[in-house]
Amino acid sequence: MKNGTFIDNIDTFDLEQIQPFLPSLLLSSFSSACVFSDESLDQLRRRLLEFPQCNSLFQILSADVMAVENDLNKATVEDIDSIRKIPFETAPPQMKLKIVAFLLDRIARNMDDGTNLDIFEQESTLEEVVCAMTVCALYMPNRFDPALIIHPLLSIPNAVTVITMLICNVSDSLESTVDYLLRVQLLDDDNVISKNRNNLLLKLLSIDPYLVERSISQLLDANTSNGNSLALMLICVCLSSAQLINNLLCALLNKRSLAAFIHRSSDKPAVKLLRDRISEAISAFSSRFAVFSVILISYEADLSLTTESSCTHYDIQKLQANFKEIRAN
């Protein structure tokens, strides 16, 4: 989106691929500061006509943001309570923006008591909710830039879908959001917020795969238990078998703490996933060099591997023993 390639090639995408970006595409199609050619804009507008919801989204995008921000600044407790009682579905566009802005403000300040959060689970109006969130993020960044509100948003219902849709339409915030998700320290790997963080990170990295290896390096450099666990998850989920071998081999040889983490964390989901991926990698490669690389990884990380029948011609235990003897000498 940011470099214009998406819009210039809009006719090559199907409706499902275009739909997550509707708010930002609508803004681009009518922006006076638009840098796209007339031909590209005509193509974009023709494609947008294929979406019947564009009219309601455009009305939200055209709402008076300054008025909403002024209302936020001077809102009383009574004002907040009054707005919370207005149903989003039947509200006019200006009020829809106001409802979402007030809700985001409460969420960002950890003042929400759980009411009205079902707005994020209503499929029929979710696009309008995200559209209003996009307006808030773009035009009130001091309050609602995604990097500022990402942490409290991780606890809302349907968090991964909602935040991903938002980031699709505030594309400049993708890298800063990924960076925040990599840095944030969460107390429990198994709680809802941690799971949402992990799943959201995978979603965002699928949008921009160029961030994957940089993210892995950043996590490994942090040299923390949570960072190593998250790095292993990214290595196992985001990389091909060849990339996995290369990245993991370098990481284990250069960052000794990762091997120690794997050794003492055999029951963690990321290590279990790693064990499965390593076994798959042995099956995927026929060259002895590739398999030996995997054996080196398994030795450095002290992994117990199980192998499929397709690779039983490699005696894994024997190779590991031979490597151990070589290293000892």
pLDDT for 114 beyond 70:
no
Q: How far apart are CA 8 and CA 12, in angstroms?
A: 9
- Does the pLDDT at position 309 exceed 50? no
Helix (H, G, I), strand (E, B) or coil at 53: coil
pLDDT at 308 over 80: no
- Report pLDDT digits (tens) over 66-86: 999 999 999 998 998 899 999
Q: Greatest CA span in the chain, whole angstroms?
A: 77
The token pair at 224 is 């923390």
Write out pLDDT tens, residues 12-45.
Answer: 999 999 999 999 999 988 775 566 677 888 889 9
Q: How confident is the model at residue 307 (pLDDT cuts 50, 70, 90)?
A: very low
Residue 245, judged by CB atoms within 10 A of its CB (0-12, 13-18, 19+), counts as buried
Q: What average pLDDT score do residues 90-112 get?
A: 92
Weakest mean pLDDT among 23-32, 112-121, 153-162, 281-290: 281-290
Residue carrying structure tokens 């290595």: 235
Check if the beta carbon of residue 148 is closer than 8 Å to that of residue 108: yes
- pLDDT (tens digit per residue) in 211-228: 999 999 999 888 888 888
pLDDT digits (tens, 9 = 90+) for 199-214: 999 999 999 999 999 9
Report whether pLDDT(326) > 50.
no
Whether 127 and 18 have beta carbons less than 8 Å apart is answered as: no
> Who's near 164: CB < 8 A, 6+ residues apart?
20, 200, 203, 204, 207
246: Cα separation from own chain's centroid? 24
What does the pLDDT read at residue 191? Answer: 86
Q: How far apart are CA 77 and CA 73, in angstroms?
A: 12
pLDDT at 189 over 70: no
Q: What mean pLDDT is reported for the chain?
A: 83
Among candidate residues 127, 116, 186, 99, the one with its CA nearest the CA of residue 151: 186
DSSP 8-state symbol, 191 = S
Q: How many CB atoms lie within 10 A of CB 193?
A: 17
